[in-house]
């Protein structure tokens, strides 16, 4: 029972972490509004896969290498920041483009896989997430951790991330938020693009300061 309580506390901490505003929230909500509810849910799946990936790395202890090999950590942080900047610029440039919310024609290629990959890449582009996973595992896991717990955590954290972002996708794909978005698409997109780009620039500048 004690071990189940520890597992529940870990899942609670990671759920609170997922709920904190950031680029993942912005990207999933925008995909759900601008594309479709199914696209938003696929982006949520991508977020879940990213959580599963980081959980596996943390379980394997590989994030300890990032903490010890400074140049690799900095390189990944710079790459992640650059990707977020690119996402922000893409959202900003597409802001004035009008969109029509309608059923997708049969001959139009599906965007579901693109939505999944966008969610996944945004999730794994932030090395701070990997450090968060590693530090929380180190702080909350018992020592030694039972094997069943190490095996259970990655799929449970996938569910954790997916459920939260599925709620975000379902909420923002509803009629009310969609109407608000369509009325103010340009400014909403430019604000979202600026926030994501600024987060990427901050990640890159913070990494550059560690080099200097």
- Coil, strand or helix at 178: helix
The tokens 């506390």 sit on which residue? 9
- pLDDT of the chain along its 212 residues, tens only? 477 887 888 788 778 777 766 778 888 888 888 788 899 999 999 999 998 998 888 777 755 565 566 676 677 667 767 867 887 787 788 778 765 544 444 444 568 898 999 889 888 887 667 767 776 776 677 756 778 888 888 999 999 999 999 998 998 888 777 677 667 778 877 887 787 788 778 878 877 777 65
Burial 38-75 (b: 16+ CB within 10 A, else e): bbbbbbbbbbbbbbbbbbbbbbeeebeebeeeeeebbe
Phi, psi of 21, deg, nearest 5: -60, 145
Contact between 104 and 110 (Cβ < 8 Å): yes
Q: What is the pLDDT of residue 71?
A: 72
Give the C-alpha separation, 14 to 146, whole Å.
19
Q: What is the pLDDT of residue 105?
A: 41
Cβ atoms within 10 Å, residue 15: 14
For the full predicted model, state whether its pTM sits above 0.75: no
Q: What is the pLDDT of residue 107?
A: 41
């Amino acid at each position: 029972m004690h071990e189940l309580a520890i597992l529940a506390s870990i899942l609670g901490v990671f759920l609170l972490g997922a709920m904190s505003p950031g680029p993942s929230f912005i990207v999933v909500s925008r995909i759900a509004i601008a594309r479709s509810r199914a696209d938003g849910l696929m982006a949520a799946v991508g977020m879940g896969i990213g959580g599963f990936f980081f959980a596996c790395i943390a379980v394997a202890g590989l994030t300890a290498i990032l903490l010890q090999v400074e140049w690799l950590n900095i390189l990944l942080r710079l790459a992640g920041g650059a990707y977020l900047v690119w996402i922000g610029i893409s959202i900003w440039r597409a802001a004035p483009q009008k969109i029509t919310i309608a059923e997708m024609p049969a001959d139009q290629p599906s965007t579901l896989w693109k939505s999944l990959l966008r969610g996944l890449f945004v999730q794994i582009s932030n090395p701070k997430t990997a450090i968060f996973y590693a530090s929380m595992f180190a702080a909350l896991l018992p020592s030694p951790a039972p094997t069943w717990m190490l095996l259970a955590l990655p799929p449970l954290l996938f569910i954790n991330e997916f459920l939260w972002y599925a709620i975000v996708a379902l909420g923002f794909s509803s009629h009310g938020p969609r109407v608000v978005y369509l009325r103010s698409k340009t400014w909403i997109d430019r604000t979202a693009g600026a926030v994501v780009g600024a987060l990427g620039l901050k990640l890159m500048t913070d990494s550059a300061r560690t080099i200097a």
